[in-house]
Structure 1
Amino acid sequence: MTFLPETGYVPTDEDRAGLDAWFAAYDVQSGKRDVEGMADLAVFPLNLVSDDSAGNGRTAQWDREQFVATMTQVMGEGSEDIVFESQRTPVFLSSALAVAFTDSTMTAGGESQQLRYADILVKRDGQWAFQTMIQGGWGDNL
């Protein structure tokens, strides 16, 4: 039997700062409803994991065009910025792989909504990008 090497990666301060900077940039793009800018921070095809109204788990892969079309509809139109207040818990699997769990309050047009989701991020050529979005309640749209 072959055992895998130790996988308990401990992130460096640089790892954490890089991931924090990525989320800050993504939040800026999201707040401005800049869906193309959001797409620039992803790896396509993008994996999606959710559940549907019947209680079944659902998965899909979106290309950039599908992401932009869907997120444009989800983000809605308007000139008012969306404000996100988020608490993130990143788990680094290596220096180039991370899973980030997020609890967030999104406020737009004076109304707030609670969000809980996870993202799987990969680092390529020194830059983080999200590759998988995991959030309940999207499955009927997949």
Structure 2
Amino acid sequence: MPILPDTGFTPSAEDRAGLDAWFAEYDAASARRDIERMADMAVFPLNLVSDDSAGHGRTAQWDRARFVETMSQVMGGEGDGEMSFESTRVPVFLSPSMAVVFTDSTMTAGGEKHQLRYADILVRREGTWAFQTMIQSGWGDNLA
């Protein structure tokens, strides 16, 4: 029986702070509806995992243009009113350069609050985090 390598990784305070800083910047770009900046913080092709309105699991890969187009439709453009996020995140570091992050978030837009639960897979390349996979229910009808 082969012996698997030890893959346990415990992040340092610096590892966690770097990931937290990345999410603070991403949330700020989202609140400004700065879709281009959000796209700058991703790795393309971007993997998406969701379900559709019929309850079927769906997956897709988006290029940058598709991400910008879809997020612009969903979120609106800069200046479309105030938006804010309050999030609790639980990162699971798989290594110093890979993390799966589970998020419970309250998004407030136009005075309405929306509860969100999602997960992201992030990779660190050349010292910078970027999201590579988005996992969230309800996007499946957009994953043609």
Distance 2:93 2:110 in 1: 35
Runs of 4+ in structure 1 deviating by more than 3 angstroms, as ranges, are none
Contact 1:35–1:68 at 8 Å: present in 2 too? Answer: yes
Cα distance, 1:78 vs. partner? 5.8
Match of 1:72 in 2: 72
Contact 2:34–2:78 at 8 Å: present in 1 too? Answer: no
Unaligned runs of 5+ in 1: none
Contact 2:48–2:59 at 8 Å: present in 1 too? Answer: yes
Distance 1:78 1:129 in 2: 22
> Percent sequence identity over matched residues?
73
- For each residue in 1:3-33, what CA deviation from the matched residue of structure 2 results, as whole angstroms up to 9, or x when unmatched? 2111121001111011000000000100000
How does 1:1-142 map onto structure 2 within 5 Å? 1-77=1-77, 79=79, 80-142=81-143
Amino acid at match of 1:125: E
Cα distance, 1:81 vs. partner? 2.6
Unaligned runs of 5+ in 2: none
- For each residue in 1:15-74, what CA deviation from the matched residue of structure 2 results, as whole angstroms up to 9, or x when unmatched? 101100000000010000000000000000000000111111100000000000000001
Contact 2:41–2:131 at 8 Å: present in 1 too? Answer: yes
Paired residues in the alignment total: 142
Amino acid at match of 1:70: T
* TM-score of the aligned structures, taking structure 1 as reference length: 0.97
- For each residue in 1:74-106, what CA deviation from the matched residue of structure 2 results, as whole angstroms up to 9, or x when unmatched? 102462231000000000000000000000000
